[in-house]
């Protein structure tokens, strides 16, 4: 496995970090407190072409390799976990169109998604359906030249601002994927507030009441909504979330080191305390380990190795549990200050926990990983 970055990838990493420090970090606290992304920050991301990171250049994207795309998600995650989630769901929708859409769908939507003219979102979860994705209750019925969608989606990241949604609905009793534009009659969204972490992901409920869309808006075929479209999107989502976890952990680590150097207790800096040094050492090792797992999954994706699916499960599982531990230790190092929103580690701690739930919970990943092992050994 090759993990050494090329000169081009190193240059991208430096540019990503500089962008995040200048354009993202200064707004991260505002995003959390106001539970919304500053439109000016989204515009900056669009200007850089980052929303087209996984879209091929022939459709107007930047066509980043999978490792570089991962590094982008790490750096954005280091600055603002909520903003990074935009990259995930926008990319999931674009990926569905790229892999499973018709040529007309690719031509119509991918250039606009790459330029940020429209924002995308992925809608699978429902009030009664989470991990048991095949049991979605939203329905789609063919009526002449249109599909009629009825149902509710919940916890939809960027649902408040997205223009185009990938909706998984039951059609002829089988999960099927559809493209639904925000302006369609019978479609509306309701903002959700009070999230524990990643508060600026602008989640929403989606309501479809006899929402009519052209029959050409189906993605793939009837019955392939999960087995093909959904699972490939979720694989991409897990990969980017894993990288985002590394970024958030890195931010907590850097804040902890700086604080431990400056904070004086008992006449000496915290960094002289052996137990503090133990936590810092564990942070370092765990972050490096998670990053290597992400590099490995990304490399396998880039070369088209089917083992990337399993390795992505492993990377997402480890990175999401790792970031929970790292950010918890960061709060501990900050002590009382770590519980105050004037210090970023409080936000990192809350943001971290969300990653153990989105794109497959920790427990679902344990089931997936163990099942794979017993099938292949």
List, as one string, the DSSP characters of 83-124.
HHHHHHHHHHHHHHHHHHS-HHHHHHHHHHHHHTSS-EEEE-
Cα dist. 298→101, 233, 315, 356 in Å? 24, 15, 10, 20
What element of type H or E holds 313? helix 308-334
- For residue 7, give every residue at least 6 positions away whose Cβ sits within 8 Å of its Cβ, in sequence order, or none: none
Give me the mean pLDDT over the 189-204 stretch: 97
Q: Are 75 and 20 in contact (CB under 8 A)?
A: yes
The model's pTM: 0.95
- Range in 145-149, 315-319, 345-349, 361-365 the model is least confident about: 361-365
The first and second tokens of residue 122, run together, are: 């992925």
Give me the mean pLDDT over the 268-288 stretch: 96
Relative to beta strand 264-265, strand 187-191 is unpaired
359 is catalytic: yes
Is residue 368 very low, low, confident or very high in pLDDT (cuts 50, 70, 90)? very high
Is residue 2 very low, low, confident or very high in pLDDT (cuts 50, 70, 90)? low
Q: Are 55 and 34 in contact (CB under 8 A)?
A: no
- Give 140's strand partners: 149
Please work out, in degrees rounded to the nearest 5, the angle formed at the alpha carbon of residue 13 by the alpha carbons of 2 and 298.
Answer: 35
The pLDDT assigned to 85 comes to 98
End-to-end CA distance of the chain: 22
Relative to beta strand 164-171, strand 120-123 is parallel
The first and second tokens of residue 354, run together, are: 């969300």
Is residue 131 very low, low, confident or very high in pLDDT (cuts 50, 70, 90)? confident
- Give 162's strand partners: none
Fold of 226-376: Butyryl-CoA Dehydrogenase, subunit A; domain 3 (1.20.140)
**Pairwise CA distance, residues 68 & 9, whole Å:** 6
The pLDDT assigned to 130 comes to 80
- Range in 1-15, 57-71, 89-103, 342-356 the model is least confident about: 1-15
With tokens 């926990």, the residue in question is: 353
Strand blocks (E) in the chain: 120-123, 139-143, 146-156, 164-171, 174-181, 187-191, 204-214, 218-219, 264-265, 268-269
Tens of pLDDT, residues 311-347: 999 999 999 999 999 999 999 999 999 999 999 999 9
To the nearest whole number, what is the mean pLDDT of the chain?
96
**CB atoms < 10 A from the CB of 273, how many?**
16
Where are the CATH 1.20.140.10 domain residues in the chain? Answer: 226-376
Q: Are 349 and 330 in contact (CB under 8 A)?
A: yes
Is residue 1 very low, low, confident or very high in pLDDT (cuts 50, 70, 90)? low
With tokens 């980017």, the residue in question is: 240
Is residue 134 very low, low, confident or very high in pLDDT (cuts 50, 70, 90)? confident
Where are the CATH 2.40.110.10 domain residues in the chain? Answer: 120-222
Fold of 120-222: Butyryl-CoA Dehydrogenase, subunit A; domain 2 (2.40.110)
**Pairwise CA distance, residues 176 & 230, whole Å:** 9
- Range in 118-122, 268-272, 346-350 the model is least confident about: 268-272
The first and second tokens of residue 175, run together, are: 């999960």
- For residue 76, give every residue at least 6 positions away whose Cβ sits within 8 Å of its Cβ, in sequence order, or none: 16, 20, 24, 45, 50, 83, 84, 87, 244, 247
**Pick the catalytic residue: 8, 117, 359, 366?**
359
- Of 74, 79, 75, 95, the closest CA to residue 37 belongs to 79
The pLDDT assigned to 132 comes to 82
Using the predicted structure, report yes or no on whether residue 75 has a pLDDT greater than 70.
yes
Fold of 7-115: Butyryl-Coa Dehydrogenase, subunit A; domain 1 (1.10.540)
**Pairwise CA distance, residues 263 & 26, whole Å:** 23
Q: Are 197 and 351 in contact (CB under 8 A)?
A: yes
Using the predicted structure, report yes or no on whether residue 268 has a pLDDT greater than 80.
yes
Long-range contacts at 106-111 (CB < 8 A, ≥ 24 apart):
106/59, 109/164, 109/179, 110/55, 110/59, 110/60, 110/61, 111/59, 111/60
Using the predicted structure, report yes or no on whether residue 133 has a pLDDT greater than 90.
no
The first and second tokens of residue 351, run together, are: 């943001």
């Amino acid at each position: 496995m090759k993990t050494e970055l090329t000169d081009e990838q190193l240059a991208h990493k430096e540019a990503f970090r500089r962008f995040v420090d200048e354009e993202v970090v200064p707004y991260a606290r505002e995003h959390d407190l106001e539970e919304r992304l500053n439109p000016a920050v989204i515009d900056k991301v669009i200007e850089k072409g980052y929303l087209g990171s996984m879209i091929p250049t022939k459709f107007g994207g930047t066509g980043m390799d999978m490792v570089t795309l991962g590094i982008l998600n790490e750096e954005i995650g280091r600055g603002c976990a909520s903003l990074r989630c935009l990259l995930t769901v926008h990319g999931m929708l674009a990926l569905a169109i790229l892999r499973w859409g018709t040529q007309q769908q690719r031509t119509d939507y991918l250039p606009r998604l790459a330029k940020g003219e429209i924002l995308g979102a992925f809608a699978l979860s429902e009030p009664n359906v989470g991990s048991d994705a095949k049991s979605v209750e939203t329905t789609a019925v063919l009526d002449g030249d249109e599909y009629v969608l009825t149902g509710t989606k919940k916890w939809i990241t960027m649902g408040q601002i997205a223009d185009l949604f990938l909706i998984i609905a039951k059609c002829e009793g089988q999960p099927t994927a559809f493209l639904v534009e925000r302006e369609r009659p019978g479609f509306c969204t309701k903002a959700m507030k009070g999230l524990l972490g990643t508060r600026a992901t602008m989640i929403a409920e989606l309501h479809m009441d006899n929402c009519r869309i052209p029959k050409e808006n189906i993605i793939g075929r009837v019955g392939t909504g999960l087995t093909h479209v959904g699972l490939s999107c979720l694989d991409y989502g897990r990969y980017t979330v894993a990288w985002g976890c590394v970024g958030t952990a890195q931010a907590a680590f850097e804040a902890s080191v700086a604080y431990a150097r400056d904070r004086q207790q008992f006449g000496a800096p915290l960094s002289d305390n052996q137990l503090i040094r133990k936590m810092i050492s564990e942070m370092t090792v765990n972050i490096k380990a998670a990053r290597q797992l992400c590099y490995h999954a990304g490399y396998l994706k880039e070369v088209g190795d089917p083992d990337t699916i399993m390795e992505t499960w492993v990377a997402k599982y480890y990175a999401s549990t790792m970031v929970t531990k790292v950010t918890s230790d960061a709060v501990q190092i900050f002590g009382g200050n770590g519980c105050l929103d004037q210090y970023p580690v409080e936000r990192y701690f809350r943001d971290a926990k969300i990653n153990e739930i989105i794109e497959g919970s920790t427990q679902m990943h344990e089931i997936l990983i163990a099942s794979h092992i017993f099938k292949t050994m």
